[in-house]
Amino acid sequence: MSVEYEYPGGVRVTHLGRQMDQCTNRSSITLQGSRGRATLDFGHAKIGRPALPV
């Protein structure tokens, strides 16, 4: 399943999820901004540059 929200100023938030038996229970969040990207994965934070093209 997925959903995308668009806020004023072109800000977008996308959620992708699944509910399936015998699948990994991995959970991560990626935040993409104009100055870089932050990924939270299994409680570990990674902050990197450059930003991906939009």
Per-block mean pLDDT, blocks of 10 residues, the chain (54 long): 88 80 76 81 63 60
Whether 41 is covered by a domain: the verdict is: yes
Whether 32 is covered by a domain: the verdict is: yes
Burial class (CB in 10 A: 0-12, 13-18, 19+), 15: exposed
Report pLDDT for 39.
80
Whether 40 is covered by a domain: the verdict is: yes
d(C-alpha 6, C-alpha 12), whole Å: 4
Whether 7 is covered by a domain: the verdict is: no
Domain span including residue 35: 27-54
Look up the pTM and report it.
Answer: 0.46
Q: How many domains does the chain have?
A: 1
